[in-house]
Structure 1
Amino acid sequence: MSIIVTGADGYVGWPTALRIADRTDERVLCVDNFARREWVASLGATSATAVASMDDRLAAAEEQGYTNLSFVEGDLTDRAFVDRLLAVHEPRAIVHTAAQPSAPYSQINGERANETQHNNLQATRNLVWGLQEAGLTDTHFIETTTTGVYGAPEFPIPEGGTTMENEGERDEVPFPAMAGSWYHLTKSHDAANLRLAHSQFDIPISDVRTAIVYGAGTDETRADERLATRLDFDYYFGVVAHRFAAQAVAGYPLTVYGKGEQRKPFVSLDDAVEGLARLALVDHAERPAAHTVYNQTTRAISIVEIAETIAAVGDEHGLDVDVEHVENPRDEDETHKMEIRHEKYDDLIDGQSVDFRAGIDEVVGAMNDRRSVIESHEDRFLPDMLES
């Protein structure tokens, strides 16, 4: 038996695989097709941190004592590959972090939207159907979907479902898909497919709805520079906190649209990895309920707070950072106070929470150490008018 981590070359997947391997003697199998590297490179962008080859990563991991970590290259949209993978390794748990993760990338044009939807949905369907047909329906399937499936409603977002009332009758129903991009809609479909997989196949499902993840590393990735995870800062693959940090390092003002008081859910990389590792390692008898939704977030943070925190941290790193408010070109509520429940996720990670400022300090420091990389790619801060 083994634990499989898909998307294990990625920003969240790699440190998750390391943490799981550090806490178990079981075989931890990393699976990836290196598509994330290709997508970022296709846009002329790069990671702020140097990302080692998988061979170098595995060599460094073994030197650190991770003798139970191995890797298989393959495409999860290829059903034959998935069937072989499951037949050979018979996983007791799968942590599925493989996906095209960028909403802006999925919005570039129809080709990228189709690529995103095919990649994300086909991979998940192949895995759950593969488990069913291989007789592995007791395998704990843990997927990172996204809090973006909820949209931005004016009421507190529940952790998974909600209550609907009609003609005096009430029932618990899944939260309606309110995705705002072709990427986010893939995760809405995944969430529905996971419910169906549990209903039809009785596969135990943990649907981990991941917030915006920030941070430059974890204890595991800091142990050797070859173990570093990626740190994207471009418009398409860099989250807002990382883009702002890169702009600060490059000497650009941090531009906040309008008031910038609208809040978004965030979780540190370490807090995200911790929850996934705990779910993968939980004993069979202590697993969560057969189908459980977690809101993988620790707090909501406003855009202006992000900018002001980065400006303050930047000053401590010797950077002169200005925050500028400009007229908002978007039709949006600049003061939306998103509320999102996350009690189940808090319980899962025992209430641990990386301080936002501390996490941002490491991001700014990592980017400042590689300032030449940031400055040579500063044209990636804003979107290209791509025609293809």
Structure 2
Amino acid sequence: MSILVTGADGYIGWPTALRIATQTTDRVVLVDNFARREWVESVGSTSAVPVAEMDDRLAAAEEIHGCTNLSFVREDLTDKATVDRLLSIHEPTAIVHTAAQPSAPYSQINGERANYTQHNNLQATRNLLWGLHEQGLEDTHFIETTTTGVYGAPEFPIPEGGATMEHRGESDDVPFPAMAGSWYHLTKSHDAANMRLAHTQFDVPISDVRTAITYGTETAETAADPRLATRFDFDYYFGVVVHRFCAQAVAGYPMTVYGKGEQRKPFIALEDAVEGLARLALADPDSRPDDHVVYNQVTRAISIVEIAETIADVAGEFDLDVAVEHFENPREEDETHKMEIENDRYADLIDGQSTTFEEGVRDILGTLIDYQDTVEAHEDRFLPGVLADDETAETDDDAESPIASEGE
């Protein structure tokens, strides 16, 4: 038997594949086309943490963790014939699909990159879903990291999946409406609808894992050897707000908060994100749900100002003197939005939160100090003042994450 992990070179995909491989003797097949490395380079940035070549990663996984069950294929999932061949050869019992172009700001740069993002993300998912049906693999558990960004920012608590709609005295359960705010987030909205349709038409068991803003530099497995490190992006396009704030702190700049900064966003630590995906992939086929299930992969909502103040507090442990500065908000947004998002199903899956936000920040700052030269050499890629006139200056900080490379 085998488990397929797409986007396995990426931020979430690599540590997920590694965790799965350490907990099973089944073959774990990694798929990626290394596009994420190219995208980050194209915007003039790099991973703060050096990312080893895949051959070195696999060798280290075997040497350090005894993972002899990992194999890698370099393929582009937007090619249907390629996907069909992968599925027919490996016949996976589960697919963890983290392959996507994951950046909202990158998708907003121009029409070309919006088109690329939508084609890349949607085509890969459709190929996999149709491939399972056409290869007679409808029992394969399909697990995809979509995003909490599909929900938008409603004023009422966000349910874990669907909602109940009432009209003219009648009610029914319906999918939550797509309220995405970028061309990237719309790809995940469409993926969610396509997965629901694939379950209805093909009876494929689906886990739609709606990933929150994911932060952190390592998991238990990746921390064991530098060759096993996952990438860490801190730039405007691919680095989430926590990572950018930490980069500002390490580079000696104040953290910049627009307006009050009291609006809350959903977050999850990398460790907690990886744990849930691994548990779903390793679930016994005889006991897992043969249904379409939505998980809100989030442990808590945190305000922007709380993020900055927490980083400033933890920075003192590293002898970093970090200030928090407030600037007039250039965006039209509710600066006090108290996002509430239900996550009972996901919390049960991982038996509760294992990583606090403070622990995650401590982990990030400790890592970035080791690579301070790299961070400072790319400060023009994350400082708000430098990017103020950027044509994509408005961003939704929901990069997942988790790509035909890897989605976060």
Displacement after TM superposition at 1:351 (Å): 1.1
Which string of whole-angstrom CA distances, capped at 9 and with x for unpartnered residues, describes residues 33-87 of structure 1?
0000000000110011010000110111110211111101000001111011001
Number of the residue aligned with 1:67: 68
Structure 1 residue 24 corresponds to structure 2 residue 19: no
User: Could you say which structure has the greater relative contact order, defined with CA pairs below 8 angstroms and 6 or more residues apart?
Assistant: 2
The whole-number CA distance in structure 1 between the counterparts of 2:351 and 2:359 is: 19
Displacement after TM superposition at 1:353 (Å): 2.8
In structure 2, the residue corresponding to 1:156 is in which secondary structure?
coil
Displacement after TM superposition at 1:285 (Å): 1.9
Displacement after TM superposition at 1:386 (Å): 6.8
| Larger displacement relative to structure 2 (199-208 or 346-355) | 346-355
Structure 1 residue 3 corresponds to structure 2 residue 3: yes
The equivalences for 1:180-195 within 5 A come to: 180-195=181-196
The equivalences for 1:283-362 within 5 A come to: 283-362=284-363
The equivalences for 1:254-265 within 5 A come to: 254-265=255-266
Preserved CA contact (<8 Å) 1:91 1:139: yes
Displacement after TM superposition at 1:352 (Å): 3.1
The whole-number CA distance in structure 1 between the counterparts of 2:113 and 2:149 is: 19
The whole-number CA distance in structure 1 between the counterparts of 2:289 and 2:359 is: 31
The equivalences for 1:146-157 within 5 A come to: 146-157=147-158
Number of the residue aligned with 2:271: 270
The whole-number CA distance in structure 1 between the counterparts of 2:121 and 2:174 is: 24
The equivalences for 1:180-259 within 5 A come to: 180-259=181-260
Which string of whole-angstrom CA distances, capped at 9 and with x for unpartnered residues, describes residues 334-367 of structure 1?
0000000000000100113311000110101100
Match for 1:252: what amino acid?
Y
Number of the residue aligned with 2:99: 98
Which string of whole-angstrom CA distances, capped at 9 and with x for unpartnered residues, describes residues 271-329 of structure 1?
00000000000001221351000000000000001000111111111111000011000
Which string of whole-angstrom CA distances, capped at 9 and with x for unpartnered residues, describes residues 142-167 of structure 1?
00000000000000000000000111
Match for 1:3: what amino acid?
I
In structure 1, the residue corresponding to 2:93 is in which secondary structure?
strand
Q: Relative to 1, partners in 2 of residues 1:66 and 1:314: Cα closer, same or farther, differing over 3 Å?
A: same
The whole-number CA distance in structure 2 between the counterparts of 1:252 and 1:105 is: 24
Preserved CA contact (<8 Å) 1:142 1:207: yes
Structure 2 unaligned runs (5+)? 393-408
Match for 1:281: what amino acid?
L
The whole-number CA distance in structure 1 between the counterparts of 2:106 and 2:287 is: 39
Number of the residue aligned with 1:39: 39
Structure 1 unaligned runs (5+)? none
The whole-number CA distance in structure 1 between the counterparts of 2:51 and 2:310 is: 27
Structure 1 residue 57 corresponds to structure 2 residue 54: no
In structure 1, the residue corresponding to 2:87 is in which secondary structure?
helix
In structure 2, the residue corresponding to 1:259 is in which secondary structure?
coil
| Larger displacement relative to structure 2 (364-373 or 375-384) | 375-384
The whole-number CA distance in structure 1 between the counterparts of 2:113 and 2:223 is: 34
Preserved CA contact (<8 Å) 2:199 2:292: yes
Displacement after TM superposition at 1:385 (Å): 4.0
Structure 1 residue 160 corresponds to structure 2 residue 161: yes
How high is the sequence identity, in percent, across the aligned residues? 76
The whole-number CA distance in structure 1 between the counterparts of 2:27 and 2:207 is: 21
Number of the residue aligned with 2:395: none
Displacement after TM superposition at 1:195 (Å): 0.2
Structure 1 residue 173 corresponds to structure 2 residue 179: no
Match for 1:224: what amino acid?
D
In structure 2, the residue corresponding to 1:157 is in which secondary structure?
coil
The whole-number CA distance in structure 2 between the counterparts of 1:165 and 1:69 is: 49
Which string of whole-angstrom CA distances, capped at 9 and with x for unpartnered residues, describes residues 231-277 of structure 1?
10000000000000000000111000010000000000000000000
TM-score by length of 2: 0.94
Preserved CA contact (<8 Å) 1:298 1:353: no
Match for 2:14: what amino acid?
W
In structure 1, the residue corresponding to 2:326 is in which secondary structure?
strand
The whole-number CA distance in structure 2 between the counterparts of 1:2 and 1:205 is: 17
Preserved CA contact (<8 Å) 1:6 1:13: yes
Match for 2:40: what amino acid?
V
Match for 2:193: what amino acid?
A
- Equivalenced residues, count: 387
Runs of 4 or more above 2 Å deviation:
382-387
The whole-number CA distance in structure 1 between the counterparts of 2:303 and 2:354 is: 18
Q: How big is the alpha-carbon RMSD for the aligned residues of Structure 1 and Structure 2? A: 1.0
Number of the residue aligned with 2:126: 125
